[in-house]
Amino acid sequence: MKFICTQCGTQFPDSASVPNRCPICDDERQYVGVHGQQWTTMDELGRKGFKNQIRFEEQDLMSIITRPQFAIGQQCYLVKTQEGNLLWDCIPFLDDETIRNIRSHGGVKAIAISHPHYYSTMNEWSIAFNNAPIYLHSSDRQWIMDPGDSIRFWSESTVTPMNGVTLIRLGGHFSGSTIARWNGTADGKGVILSGDTIQVGMDRKSVSFMYSYPNYIPLSRQILERISKTLQGYEYDRIYGALEDRNITSNAKATVAGSISRYITHLEQNSDTD
């Protein structure tokens, strides 16, 4: 039986009993819940009535999220291209209804994941769609709890799994933290699928960057400046974040630049203003 950590949604290899611990949740970027380490399975989630909701965010871009909320509450995206569909990030729950729905839109040609918190049940998704290759940055290979034959490691600063989609390693949250830039939008302005490598703020007017979001561990100025320099080389107008409705719908590139400047300003403030 393959057990799933209820806190982060990561699936572990076949075993007769639950794992002793979840290394991803034991890491300082995540946490074990107040009630201790708990486990479930895909079948149990189905029996409890979990379902996936699929909706169009814009032409050729769909979001997929589980109801009720499970694990981190992240969503994944299906990007439709002329070469096939890319599944961006993974959510833990997958059922026959979701598979049928995605197949009606052309299935999945490749999977790409932003960072280890969203590896979840990536092998189950790959198997469901003809062993679609899973693109993971090699810097984070130690965080794979359930290795699979479909994983394709990449170590460069960018990789293109299909025309129109570029995976860009930014680092920060994890060494291999990645975003996806898609240039096949109907308006031609381009979007970024950010995971929480770039976290859209609650005001939807800003973004931020953290080593650990739940434990409030910031990144350094040097890392932010490197991220900023990398992002300057790409054009994009919108950002779709990891969490539901946490998107920036216009002028996203300027928003990111301004948010990084604000972040650095606060890092440099040494005096108490109270």
Residue spans of alpha helices (H) in the chain: 23-26, 42-47, 96-104, 122-128, 221-231, 252-268
- Rounded CA gap, 234 and 179, in Å? 12
| In the chain, % of residues over pLDDT 70 | 98
Residue 22 included in any domain: yes
DSSP type of residue 220: P
Instruction: State which residues form the domain around 121.
Output: 2-268
pLDDT, mean over the chain: 96
Residue 87 included in any domain: yes
Longest dimension (CA), the chain: 60
Q: What is the structure's pLDDT at 270?
A: 58
Residue 274 included in any domain: no
Residue 217 included in any domain: yes
Residue 127 included in any domain: yes
Strand partners, 272: none
Residue 16 included in any domain: yes
| Number of domains into which the chain is organized | 1
**Six token digits for residue 39:** 């486990």
Residue 104 included in any domain: yes
DSSP type of residue 144: -
Residue 271 has pLDDT above 90, yes or no: no
Residue 166: CATH number of its domain: 3.60.15.10
pLDDT in tens, 3-57: 999 999 999 999 999 999 999 999 999 999 999 999 999 999 999 999 999 999 9
The enclosing H or E element of 160 equals strand 158-162
Question: Taking the model in full, what pTM does it have?
Answer: 0.96
Residue 141 included in any domain: yes
pLDDT in tens, 210-240: 999 999 999 999 999 999 999 999 999 999 9
